[in-house]
Structure 1
Amino acid sequence: MWATENPHEFIETSLHPQKIGIWVAVSRRRIIGPIFFREVINGERYRGILRQALEQMHDDKLRFGYFQQDGAPAHTAAETVRYLEEFYGDRIISRGLWPSRTSDLTPLDYYLFGRIKNNIFKQRVHTLEDLEVTIHHEIESITPNELERVFECMKWRINLYLENEGGHFEHFL
């Protein structure tokens, strides 16, 4: 039997590659975070991340702002929702109040994560610690003027969504 590979050679690979998660919030004026995590997120861990995030927010964000999140189970767990209601009352946009799978309407998806990835991976990042530092620097480089433009774009995108009665609008972008 002929083969190009040596059948007696073993190449070990990790069953679960190294990875980190990132929690970040974006507002019209500033970015809150990033908060990094390496474990699988459940409701309790997510509330721990929220505690860290809320410490970074100004009182006006808590009294007048809205909190938007997706419908992930950790985000919509009853205890998590009760925790957020302490700060935001009925100003929580989550499952059922925001169209699902609408990355074209969410600044984190249509802007922030793509910008970060495009700039970070232009260079080699060798460790998770290097990745965290690079993400911090990239986020710190975003200007208030840039955030203002992002939110003007968000309003435009939402209006396109409404004009098309929730239908596809990407071809108008």
Structure 2
Amino acid sequence: MKRLSRSKGLFSRYTTPGLDRVLFSDEKLFTVEEASIRQNDGILSTCTSAIPEKYRFVKRVQKPLLVTLWAGISSVGLTSLVFVPSGVKINAATYKELILEPLVKDLGKTMFENGSFVFQQDGAPAHIAKSTHEWLDANIPHIITKVEWPPSSPDLNPLDFSLWPTLESRACSKSHTNIESLKTSLGREWENISQEMVRTAVAVVHRRLKSVIKQKGGYIE
């Protein structure tokens, strides 16, 4: 099972201090709609009328306006957000043009004091394309390759299990009338994420890897 074997490999390779050098990255879609109440945040009541009106329903439309973000997180902090232009699909070419070249390429100088870091990305098609890996081999000395990162593992990426949900709950606590309002809110709340939260999110990755191994590759949330 790839998820189990790769989790074992990462667990052995990266101790908790070793994770300090890893930059975890991810893309995420956000819509102008109000964030929905998650299952664990439900309200218990014997009748609908007892629930405050604002919590009864969250309006949804068939095709809401949305924006795609890219970001990175490491124990030393967060990268800036990259807003993918409307209508642009992330493929190998646009991934390089919008994210790798202008931002990731110089992170060794701008984000990590010793100039050395390990770049992580998931198995999205743009990430595992041949041209992407040729660029990474030429520009980023250390990466977690496509055969090292466990497949379908959002529960191991701090952005997925911690930062994205937090950002969505804060920036989308109410609906937005347009994309610019959404972008402004996302940018503001991203800047407000504390360094303590960032360090904690990265620090628990090693423990999560251990949990995946204990569950023989099972998911932990």
Report the TM range for the smaller structure's normalisation: 0.7 to 0.9
Task: Classify the secondary structure of the residue corresponding to 2:70.
Answer: strand
Greater relative contact order (CA < 8 Å, ≥ 6 in sequence)? 2
Number of equivalent positions: 156
- Please say if residues 62 and 87 of structure 1, whose CA atoms lie closer than 8 Å, have aligned partners that are also in contact: no
Per the TM alignment, residue 24 of structure 1 is displaced from its structure 2 partner at its CA by 0.4
Q: Pick closer, same or farther for the CA change 1:133–1:29 going to 2, 3 Å.
A: same
Of the two, which has the highest radius of gyration? Answer: 1
Per the TM alignment, residue 61 of structure 1 is displaced from its structure 2 partner at its CA by 7.2
* Alpha-carbon distance in 1 for matches of 2:191, 2:131: 32
Per the TM alignment, residue 121 of structure 1 is displaced from its structure 2 partner at its CA by 1.8
Q: Pick closer, same or farther for the CA change 1:121–1:15 going to 2, 3 Å.
A: closer
Counterpart residue identity of residue 22, structure 1: L
- Please say if residues 155 and 161 of structure 2, whose CA atoms lie closer than 8 Å, have aligned partners that are also in contact: yes
Counterpart residue identity of residue 145, structure 1: E
The counterpart of 1:57, out of the listed 87, 101, 107, is 107
Give the structure-2-normalised TM-score.
Answer: 0.64
Residue 9 of structure 1 is matched in structure 2 by none
My pick for the range that moved more, 143-152 or 132-141, is 143-152
Runs of 5+ consecutive residues of structure 1 not aligned to the other structure: 1-13
Per the TM alignment, residue 148 of structure 1 is displaced from its structure 2 partner at its CA by 1.1
- Please say if residues 121 and 127 of structure 2, whose CA atoms lie closer than 8 Å, have aligned partners that are also in contact: yes
Runs of 5+ consecutive residues of structure 2 not aligned to the other structure: 1-60
Q: Pick closer, same or farther for the CA change 1:30–1:92 going to 2, 3 Å.
A: same
Kindly provide the CA deviation profile for residues 39-58 of structure 1, in whole angstroms up to 9, marking residues without a partner as x: 11111100012122226624
Task: Classify the secondary structure of the residue corresponding to 1:125.
Answer: coil
Q: Pick closer, same or farther for the CA change 1:79–1:61 going to 2, 3 Å.
A: farther
Residue 77 of structure 1 is matched in structure 2 by 129
Residue 175 of structure 2 is matched in structure 1 by 124
- Please say if residues 62 and 88 of structure 1, whose CA atoms lie closer than 8 Å, have aligned partners that are also in contact: no
Alignment of 1:36-55 (within 5 A): 36-37=83-84, 38=86, 39-48=88-97, 49-54=99-104
Residue 40 of structure 2 is matched in structure 1 by none
The counterpart of 1:112, out of the listed 157, 163, 182, is 163
Per the TM alignment, residue 95 of structure 1 is displaced from its structure 2 partner at its CA by 2.2
Kindly provide the CA deviation profile for residues 51-82 of structure 1, in whole angstroms up to 9, marking residues without a partner as x: 22226624247942111111111111111111
Per the TM alignment, residue 27 of structure 1 is displaced from its structure 2 partner at its CA by 0.7
* Alpha-carbon distance in 2 for matches of 1:79, 1:55: 15
Residue 20 of structure 1 is matched in structure 2 by 67
- Whether 1:98 and 2:139 are equivalent positions in the alignment is no
* Alpha-carbon distance in 2 for matches of 1:62, 1:108: 24
* Alpha-carbon distance in 2 for matches of 1:95, 1:167: 20
- Please say if residues 212 and 220 of structure 2, whose CA atoms lie closer than 8 Å, have aligned partners that are also in contact: yes
Task: Classify the secondary structure of the residue corresponding to 2:72.
Answer: strand
* Alpha-carbon distance in 1 for matches of 2:129, 2:71: 19
* Alpha-carbon distance in 1 for matches of 2:125, 2:113: 24
* Alpha-carbon distance in 2 for matches of 1:57, 1:116: 23
